[in-house]
DNA sequence: TACTCGTGGAT
DNA sequence: TATCCAAGAGT
């Protein structure tokens, strides 16, 4: 292995493993060896904090405890269970993958890398994580923690935001795995990164591998890993119509692909071109349902920032001829009570919450 | 390769 | 307050 000898590797691995066994957190998905349940946890944990995932995973396991229970569930119910977690294509891909496992593999989660990796939503990290953690297969599972930990210990200055860096880190991570210890060791790398070798101000004073850490020795641990800077979110102006008909309000379902795919929302349109919101909303309803829309009053102004977008949402209370807007698979008239049954993005949940005062 | 795709918490 | 960013994958 490039610049790392066996003695060094063995010592680093041994100390991380020992530290993990003595210090690991009691997380709910660590109480099971069920590959499906571990898989679900890994998907939920993608780009998401442990504390956020715990209640979602507990509810999800209660409702969908097995591959088959998730495979046969209505997609809308799965999405509702995922509401608030973000990256909703994870839920759609997970169910598609589980259905594939149910049919092609008789309901047993694959224990081979090619099979696992071919499933939708299962990439190089998740496939390695499930195989190693659930089946103890000796494959690497390189996530953001592992990039950070290895880049510091071995002083690697490759830009980890570039896909090319992954190969090098996977090679080292695999090289480090003590024979027969893939499950604990891969989790040790991640747990260590989450608790000791943290992004800012790493706790080097209490670090079990301090004496072996090249980054610490050179005093550069705070500048690792090397990572390209993100672009700021692009601003987007949105106009939203709160359309009432007696005690019911109009909601529509977003398209099955793209931002917030399949989520329900109050009818909205992009008004970033600077046109007047009333005119744009009226045109939107005219084009979609061939119905007139009366914008009554400004209702709320909400800001919401996504990874790459910044929404400025202006919501208006409106009136329209409800008879001309029939319900379909993607159009519903619902009471505020029924609203809670539909998966909505957080920004529209906030609008929904403030609707109660309107009735 | 670079961009898309959410959310809430830490600094 | 602004920025970063957390157990990534798809295109």
A101 and A190, same domain (yes or no)? yes
A208 and A274, same domain (yes or no)? no
C-alpha A216/C-alpha A12 separation (Å) is 14
Boundaries of domain holding A281? 234-358
A63 and A206, same domain (yes or no)? yes
**Is residue A199 domain-resident?**
yes
A300, β-bridge pairs:
A315
C-alpha A221/C-alpha A209 separation (Å) is 13
A278 and A172, same domain (yes or no)? no
**Is residue A20 domain-resident?**
yes
Residue A185 corresponds to which tokens in the numbers above? 């060791």
Compute the Cα dihedral for A123, A124, A126, A128 and give only its sign: positive
Catalytic annotation, pick one of A42, A83, A181, A265 = A42
Residue A49: per-residue pLDDT: 96
Q: Identify the domain boundary among A158, A193, A223.
A: A223
Q: Identify the domain boundary among A223, A243, A260.
A: A223
Residue A197 neighbours by CB distance under 10 Å: 28
Res. A358: pLDDT tops 70:
no
pLDDT band at A215 (very low <50, low <70, confident <90, very high): very high
With pLDDT > 90 as the criterion, what percentage of chain A qualifies? 94
A176 and A286, same domain (yes or no)? no
Residue A38 corresponds to which tokens in the numbers above? 């571990």
For A256-271, write each residue's pLDDT tens digit: 999 999 999 999 999 9
Mean pLDDT of A19-43: 97
A56 and A155, same domain (yes or no)? yes
Instruction: Please say if A257 is a catalytic residue.
Output: no
Mean pLDDT of A36-60: 98
Cis peptide before A320 (omega within 30 of 0): no
Q: Give the closest nucleotide to A125 (alpha carbon vs C1').
A: C8
Residue A273: per-residue pLDDT: 87
For A269-306, write each residue's pLDDT tens digit: 999 888 899 999 999 999 999 999 999 999 999 999 99
Average pLDDT, chain A: 96
Res. A357: pLDDT tops 80:
no
A218 and A322, same domain (yes or no)? no
Res. A65: pLDDT tops 90:
yes
Residue A150: per-residue pLDDT: 97
Q: Identify the domain boundary among A176, A198, A223.
A: A223
Q: Give the closest nucleotide to A230 (alpha carbon vs C1').
A: C4
Compute the Cα dihedral for A27, A30, A31, A36 and give only its sign: positive
Least trusted range by pLDDT, from A16-25, A79-88, A201-210, A350-359: A350-359
Residue A1: per-residue pLDDT: 75
Distance A86 CA to C11 C1' (A): 19
Mean pLDDT of A207-226: 96
Q: Which residue's CA lies closest to nucleotide B3 at its C1' atom? A: A308
Query: With a 7 Å cutoff on the CB, does A162 touch strand B?
Result: yes
Question: What DSSP string describes A140-181?
Answer: ----HHHHHHHHHHTT--S-TTSTHHHHHHHHHHHHHPPTT-
**Is residue A322 domain-resident?**
yes
pLDDT band at A359 (very low <50, low <70, confident <90, very high): low
Distance A43 CA to C10 C1' (A): 14
Residue A230: per-residue pLDDT: 87
Mean pLDDT of A342-351: 97
Query: With a 7 Å cutoff on the CB, does A308 touch strand B?
Result: yes
For A95-112, write each residue's pLDDT tens digit: 999 999 999 999 999 999
Residue A93: CATH number of its domain: 1.10.340.30
A175 and A212, same domain (yes or no)? yes
Residue A229: per-residue pLDDT: 85
Residue A319: CATH number of its domain: 3.90.79.10
Count of all residues that appear for chain A in the document: 359
Number of structural domains (chain A) is: 2
Residue A10: per-residue pLDDT: 96
A108 and A37, same domain (yes or no)? yes
Distance A22 CA to B3 C1' (A): 41
Residue A103 neighbours by CB distance under 10 Å: 10
| HSE-CB of A280 using CA atoms within 13 angstroms | 19
Mean pLDDT of A30-49: 98
**Is residue A228 domain-resident?**
no
pLDDT band at A184 (very low <50, low <70, confident <90, very high): very high
């Amino acid at each position: 292995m490039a610049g790392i000898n066996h003695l060094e590797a063995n010592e680093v691995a041994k100390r991380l493993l020992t530290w993990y066994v003595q210090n690991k957190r009691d997380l709910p998905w660590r109480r099971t060896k069920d590959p499906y349940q571990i898989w679900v946890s890994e998907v939920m944990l993608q780009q998401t904090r442990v504390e956020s995932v715990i209640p979602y995973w507990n509810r999800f396991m209660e409702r969908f405890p097995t591959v088959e229970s998730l495979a046969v569930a209505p997609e809308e119910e799965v999405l509702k269970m995922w509401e608030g977690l973000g990256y909703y294509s994870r839920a759609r891909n997970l169910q598609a993958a589980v259905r594939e496992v149910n049919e092609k593999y008789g309901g047993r989660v694959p224990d081979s890398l090619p099979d696992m990796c071919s499933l939708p939503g299962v990439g190089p990290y998740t496939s390695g994580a499930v195989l190693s953690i659930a089946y103890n297969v000796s494959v690497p599972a390189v996530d953001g923690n592992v990039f950070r930990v290895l880049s510091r210990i071995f002083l690697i200055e490759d830009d980890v935001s570039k896909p090319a860096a992954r190969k090098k880190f996977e090679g080292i991570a695999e090289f480090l795995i003590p024979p027969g210890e893939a499950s604990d060791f891969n989790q040790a790398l991640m747990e260590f990164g989450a608790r000791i070798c943290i992004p800012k101000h790493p706790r080097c004073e209490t670090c079990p591998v301090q004496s072996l850490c090249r980054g610490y020795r050179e005093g550069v641990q705070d500048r690792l890993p090397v990572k390209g800077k993100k672009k700021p979110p692009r601003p987007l102006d949105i106009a939203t119509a709160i359309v009432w008909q007696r005690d019911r309000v109009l909601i529509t379902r977003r398209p099955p692909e793209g931002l917030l795919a399949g989520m329900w929302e109050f009818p909205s349109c992009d008004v970033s071109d600077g046109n007047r919101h009333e005119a744009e909303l009226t045109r939107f309803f005219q084009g979609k349902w061939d119905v007139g829309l009366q914008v009554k009053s400004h209702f709320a102004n909400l800001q919401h920032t996504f990874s790459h977008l910044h929404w400025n949402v202006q919501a208006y209370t409106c009136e329209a001829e409800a008879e001309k807007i029939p319900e379909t698979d993607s159009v519903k008239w619902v009471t505020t009570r029924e609203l809670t049954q539909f998966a909505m993005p957080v920004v529209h949940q906030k609008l929904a919450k403030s609707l109660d005062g309107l009735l």
